[in-house]
A and B are shown apart, each in its own frame.
Chain A
Amino acid sequence: MRTLHLLRADGEGFVPPSTNDFNLPPVFGNNEYTTKPILLVFLSVILISVFFILASRKAAIVPSKLQFAGESIYGFVRNDLARDNIGHEFMRFVPYLFTLFTFILTNNIFGIVPLLQFPAMSHVSFPYVLAIFTFITFHYIGIRKQGVVKYFKDIMFMPGVPKAAYILLTPLELATFFIVRPLTLSLRLFANMFAGHLLLLVFILGGDHLLKGVIGLKLISPFAFAFGIGLTFFEFMVQCLQAYIFTLLTALYIAGALADEH
């Protein structure tokens, strides 16, 4: 955004937001650990911890409003994501899935929270980290459950398939389990947040630029802002959906690793 303003000051005309707008400078000095997304991630950890500790502290049979709110989210992850997909062993994975869901959801929603207005997940490093955790988790569970040899054998040589099919199937399966899954998991989340933020930038900054133009352009500007606001609601939906999808897929991968045959 800094480049944008500089360019505008030079009178170069509208410069559409680019990937550069995601490279925010450190907030404090030159320390690269104090960039906005990093601070937001820490903020999310604090907010989630405080909220859920307060909500769960009493563990009352008849919940307060706060406890009910916390329980609703927890119950959703526990029952709808973990239990319904993983089965009787689900309780072991509830803490991980719960953390995953709340962490992604909060950081996504930061994208439309006034003043914060930046989804940390639009920096690919964070989705990478989460995908790596999920990747390690479901492979570890599969190996623990079935043993190294059987686990890899089942992946490479899917039972009940004609031998000739392995020429095609084995590389595909290996790619699925070790490349496609973590990559799609992280890139899906990253791309959605990245594109969503870019879209908002286009309309808000565009509206702002139109407002500075000639009278005809000024009249169009409100439409750009209105569209930006509409897209904000749309973004909210996408942000929730992406948190849900990431957690759901993790649960499904874990369920697959626990199952004897996939």
Chain B
Amino acid sequence: MRFVDVAAESANPLIPHTAELVVGAIAFTLLFLVLRSKVVPMFEKAFAARTEAIQGGMERAEKAQLEAQNALVQYNDQLSKAREEAQTLREEARVQGVAIIDELRTKAQEEATRITASAHASIEAERQQAITSLRNEVGSLAIQLASKIVGEALDDQARQSRIVDRFLDDLEKSK
């Protein structure tokens, strides 16, 4: 039964002590001020720096990727342009080559024609010359022969020529 008395003697646990109220308020306020001024800003700083670092890294990576993509597009562009250029160059060269060959061929043909023509002309001229000289020589030779055979001077020039001509004409006709 003793402990009942002891319990009755003890203070009601729901009644606060003044000292504890004061200390509680002071201690809590103190802790609040310390944490608010020293701890929270530092943690927030760390959080912000971390977020910044992660976001910055991601942004940088994105930027690099974009740049790489741009470069790739540019290179592809340049490559296709170069290909086109080469293609046109080849085409042009081909066309030019064909033209040059054509031109050369025409020129050669012309030259050949010209040479042939001049050759023909000179041949003709030489033939005419040969004919003329042959006629003269044949005439004088024949007359010499005839005068020797006939023994008669046939020194009349006009007669000589007539006779020779007639002889030659006959000769040609008989051919």
Contact = CB atoms under 8 A, between A and B. Distances in A.
Interface of A: 3, 7, 12, 15-16, 18-20, 22-23, 32-33, 35, 37-38, 41-42, 44-45, 48-49, 52-53, 55-57, 59-61, 63, 67, 70-71, 74-75, 78, 94-96, 98-99, 102-103, 123-126, 128-130, 133, 187, 190, 194
B13 interface: yes
Given A15-B2, A23-B10, A130-B28, A74 B17 contact: no
Interface residues of B, number: 38
Q: Which 5 A-B pairs have the closest CB atoms?
A: A125-B20, A56-B42, A129-B24, A95-B36, A125-B16
B34 A53 contact: yes
18 contacts: A7-B3, A18-B6, A20-B10, A35-B19, A38-B19, A41-B24, A41-B27, A45-B34, A49-B38, A56-B46, A59-B43, A59-B49, A95-B32, A95-B36, A124-B13, A124-B15, A125-B17, A128-B16
Contacts of B11: 19, 23
Summarize A's interface: helix, strand, loop or mixed.
helix
B16 A71 contact: no
Contacts, number: 133
Nearest to B30: A45
A89 B34 CA distance: 22
Given A7-B2, A61-B46, A99-B31, A53 B39 contact: yes
Nearest to A32: B19
B52 to A, nearest CB: 9
Interface in B42-67: 42-43, 45-47, 49-50, 53
Given A16-B3, A45-B31, A123 B20 contact: yes
Given A35-B19, A130-B28, A19 B7 contact: yes
B125 interface: no
A74 B44 CA distance: 10
Contacts of B7: 18-20
B10 A18 contact: yes
Nearest to B49: A61
Interface of B: 2-3, 6-7, 9-17, 19-21, 23-25, 27-28, 30-32, 34-36, 38-40, 42-43, 45-47, 49-50, 53
Given A35-B20, A41-B24, A125-B21, 5 more contacts: A19-B13, A37-B20, A103-B31, A190-B13, A194-B13
Given A16-B3, A35-B19, A125-B21, A49 B45 contact: no
Contacts of A98: 35, 39-40
Nearest to A15: B3
Contact of B21 (A3, A23, A67, A129): A129
Contact of A15 (B6, B43, B46): B6
A95 B19 CA distance: 26
